[in-house]
Amino acid sequence: MGAALLRRGIGLVYGGGCVGLMGTIADVVIQSGGEVIGVIPEALVERELAHGNVTELIIVRSMHERKAKMAELSDAFVALPGGVGTIEEIFEVFTWTQLGVHSKPCAFLDVEQYYARLFQFLEHMAEQRFIKKEHLDALIRGDNPVDLLIKLRNYTPVIEEKWIDREPKKIIQPTSLRPAADERAVP
């Protein structure tokens, strides 16, 4: 992925750490002279997890600020194989596309079908009408970094309201639990 970004002159915005898969990708981009912006919360800097060689390291107060800043700086979002934090981050920005907060593409680099079961579940969600098929279809998935970057470049935002069956509903007025006057009279 790092090499694919470099060949296309695409910079990397990521969580600013020196460990894990993203730390390795940052190393590849840095070593070849590419731009890398890391955004990391103070607590992780204090644990000595900040990457010391990025082009720019932005230190924020919280994980929430980190995600907001990365979203602001990024043109697209790609989840590589990862854990719960990876899923939480990609689904937050994906939700923002559904809500119209931004129109940036969201993608999964699905190495060796890592996300296959997740996508089965997302299809189930669409079948159960908890996500619109149009939104699910806009979620980009690929197993090759080069092909995935091409899909990101060719992305067309979905302009579709998030909610299914958004027609106004009949409002039912609350009723009193107290019995009517004629029901209260007990002989």
pLDDT digits (tens, 9 = 90+) for 100-127: 899 999 999 999 999 999 999 999 999 9
Mean pLDDT of 140-152: 97
**What's the confidence (pLDDT) of residue 82?**
95
Among 4-8, 105-109, 178-182, the minimum mean pLDDT is found in 178-182
**What's the confidence (pLDDT) of residue 159?**
76
Q: How many residues does the chain have?
A: 187
d(CA 40, CA 21) in angstroms, rounded, equals 16
Q: What DSSP state is assigned to residue 112?
A: G
pLDDT digits (tens, 9 = 90+) for 7-18: 999 999 999 999
- Percent of all residues in the chain with a pLDDT value above 70, rounded to a whole number: 85
The most distant pair of C-alpha atoms in the chain lies apart, rounded to whole Å, by 93
Q: Under CATH, which number does the domain 1-74 receive?
A: 3.40.50.450
Domain 76-154 classification at class level = alpha beta
| Gyration radius (Cα) of the chain, Å | 23
pLDDT over 70 (residue 171): no
Q: How many CA atoms lie within 13 A of 69 on its CB side?
A: 20
What are the beta bridge partners of residue 60? 41
CATH 3.40.50.450, the chain: domain bounds: 1-74, 76-154
pLDDT digits (tens, 9 = 90+) for 30-61: 999 999 999 999 999 999 899 999 999 999 99
Which tokens hold the place of 82?
């990862």
d(CA 31, CA 165) in angstroms, rounded, equals 51
SS3 79: strand
pLDDT digits (tens, 9 = 90+) for 64-100: 999 999 999 999 999 999 999 999 999 999 999 988 8
- Of 154, 152, 157, nearest in space to 10 by CA: 152
pTM of the complete model: 0.82
